[in-house]
Amino acid sequence: MFWAGVDVGAATTKAAILDKKANLVSFHVQKSGVDYVSGSRECLEKALERGGISEDSLKGIVATGYGRYNVPGAKLVKTEISCHTKGCFFHFPEACTIVDIGGQDCKVIRVDDSGKRTAFKMNRKCAAGTGAFLEEVSLRLGLDVSQLDSLARVSTKRIKLGSYCTVFTSTEILALIRKGEKVEDIVRGLFEAIAQRLLEMDPLQGTIVMTGGVVAHNPVLVDVLGEKIPGPIKVPPHPQLMGAFGAALYGLEQEGESISEVPRAGNNIVERSSPIYNPG
């Protein structure tokens, strides 16, 4: 029997299916679109199909994310903050600061050594430093967003972008292009700007755990941030799924399963950059 977590974000919807030992047996990620009800249902159906799991085998669904109240059939609804905390602490049972970078927002969550959330901050007023920011700027550069990570890795010059606003950054990029700066150096500057934005949101100290779609698809950001802070940076397997994964863990707890006794997937955990991140 399985539990499913469905995370309906503003940009993407994620479904994760766990067995009773908290193993991730299947998942699916897709754009959220404008119909959260049908989109979340479709996302879960594809995760079930991918894992060869019948819907009758599901013990229940736990919904989270921006559109969590639009998930049909959900037995439990939890905030994305709670679910990210639950998922990350499962992989890293220690005091840490979770940095989640999604399509429309950035979250910084402080967790103590018992897994309790002690503080939380979120950029509510601007999408700068999010997936939407990268998509908009990549269009300005005539690139597909999937090219950004590889370009940033071959940069040989550090360019500082002074603006964090997406509109102002686009204007600044035009000036850099006119100046003759290389595209890869401009792209690296974008990730430098995102890292600086995170540091201005909240001082990042101790162990940092990074999650979200931006991290999954652009692991170079882990390297960039790592150059600016002294502590270790850790990334769980499937960082884009942490909200859905944590939601499913809440489902297991509803059934009385003790996830504290389940072995962590330590052999799948990576620190700093790695080419084996699996964004799904």
* Domain of residue 187, CATH code: 3.30.420.40
The one-character DSSP state at 265 is: -
> How do residues 112-156 score in pLDDT, each as one tens digit?
999 999 999 887 656 566 777 888 888 888 899 999 999 999 999
Q: Which of 198, 229, 256 is the last residue of a domain?
A: 198
> How do residues 41-95 score in pLDDT, each as one tens digit?
999 999 999 999 999 999 999 999 999 999 999 999 999 999 999 999 999 999 9
What predicted TM-score, i.e. pTM, was given to this entire model? 0.87
The structural domain count of the chain equals: 2
Task: State whether 86 and 9 are in the same domain.
Answer: yes
Domain boundaries, position 29: 1-91+237-268
Domain annotation covers residue 140? yes
**Residues in CB range of 159: below 8 A, 6 or more apart:** 176, 181, 185, 186, 188, 189, 192
Q: Is 64 exposed, middle or buried (0-12, 13-18, 19+ CB in 10 A)?
A: buried
Candidate from 24-38, 83-97, 191-205, 240-254 with smallest mean pLDDT: 191-205
What whole-number distance in Å separates Cα of residue 205 and Cα of residue 207?
Answer: 7
What whole-number distance in Å separates Cα of residue 133 and Cα of residue 128?
Answer: 5
Q: Which of 178, 198, 218 is the last residue of a domain?
A: 198
